[in-house]
Amino acid sequence: MKKQVSFACLIVCLGLSSTASFANKTPGHAVKPAVQAKADLSEKKSAPKSPEAEAAQRKENDEITKRLLTKFLAGFKDKKDLDAFNKEVRNTAGRAVPALIEVMKNAKYPDKSRWLATFMLGRAMGKKAAPFIGKFTAHPSWVMRLAALKVLLALKQHEMVDVYARTLRDDSMIVRTQALANVRDLKLDKLAPNVWAMLYDKRNYYEAKKATKRSNIIKEVITAVGELRFEKARDPLLTMIQKDKYSDVFEEINKSLEKITGQDAPKGDRQVKRHYWSRYVLTSKTI
C-alpha cells in the first residue's frame, strides 16, 4: 500500500494548526500573502509589458499551475516530501491560487490534497479568501466542510453566523463538533440558542444496550452554553443537576451554572453542590 502522510501531519507539518498561522501573515513576513503579491504585480503594471513578455508570464503561470496540480494528484509520501511542496507553494506567492482553487473544486484529487489546498488558500489569501472558503461548508464531502470550518476559525471569521448556525446541524458529527468549536472560540453568544438546541438533536445521542446515551458532544454543548452565558439555559440546568439521569454531565452542568449565574458552588461532593443549587432556586423565587 502506498504510504501517505496523515491529515494531522498535513496541518502540523505546515504550521497551520493555530490561528496565528493565518492571522500573523503580513507583508513584512518573508512569505507574502497572495493579496500583497497581487498588489506588487499591479504596481509593476504601470510600465506596460510587451506582448512577448506577457505571453512568457502566462506560460510560466500555466507551468506553475500544471506542476502543482500534478503533485496534488500524486499526493505526499512523507513529511520531507510535504515540506518541499509547502516551500514551493510559498515561493510561488499568489500564482499558486488557481491551482489551489482547482484542487478544492475537483473531486478527482485525493481528500488529503483538497484538505491541504483549503488551508493553503486561507494562508495565502487571508481574509480575502473567506467568502469563497465559506461556500465549502455546504460541500457534499464532510472532509471539505470540516476543512472550511477550520480555516474560517483560523481567519477569525466572526461574521459568518449563518454558516455556523447551519453547520451546528450538519449531518456529520465531526463537522457539528467543529462548528461548535468555532462558536466557542469566536465567542458568538448570539448563537447560544442554536447551541442549546443541539441538546434536542437526536443525532447527538447513540443507542447502547437498549438505552440512549449522550455522545461527547453533549458535554461540549453544556459547557458552551455556560461560556456563552445563555440565560435561558439556567432554569433547565438547575432542574437537570438535581437528577441522577444527568450524572454523567454533572460537572459540565455545575460549571455552566456558575458562569451563567455568577455564583460559585461550594467545594464538596455532588450532594453538597445539589443542595446549594436547590437553595439558589428557592432564593431566586423569593427575590
pLDDT per position as a tens digit, 139-154: 999 999 999 999 999 9
Per-residue pLDDT reduced to its tens digit, 108-144: 999 999 999 999 999 999 999 999 999 999 999 999 9
The pLDDT assigned to 94 comes to 85
Q: Which cell goes with 282? A: 428557592
Question: Which one-letter amino acid corresponds to residue 129?
Answer: A
The pLDDT assigned to 27 comes to 34
Q: 277: Cβ–Cβ under 8 A, 6 or more apart, which residues?
A: 238, 241, 242, 254, 257, 265
Q: What percent of the chain has pLDDT over 70?
A: 83
Q: Is the pLDDT of residue 31 over 50?
A: no
- What does the alpha-carbon distance between residue 275 and residue 216 come to, in Å, rounded to a whole number? 27
- What does the alpha-carbon distance between residue 138 and residue 167 come to, in Å, rounded to a whole number? 8
Q: What is the CB neighbour count within 10 angstroms for residue 55? A: 11
Q: Which cell goes with 235? A: 432554569
3-state class of 241 per DSSP?
coil
Q: What is the pTM of this model?
A: 0.84
Q: What ranges do the domains of the chain cover?
A: 1-37+58-157, 159-287
Average pLDDT over residues 240-246: 96
3-state class of 59 per DSSP?
helix
Question: Which one-letter amino acid corresponds to residue 232?
Answer: K
Q: Which cell goes with 80? A: 520531507
Task: Supply the mean pLDDT for the chain.
Answer: 87
Highest mean pLDDT, choosing among 11-15, 85-89, 186-190: 186-190
The pLDDT assigned to 48 comes to 78
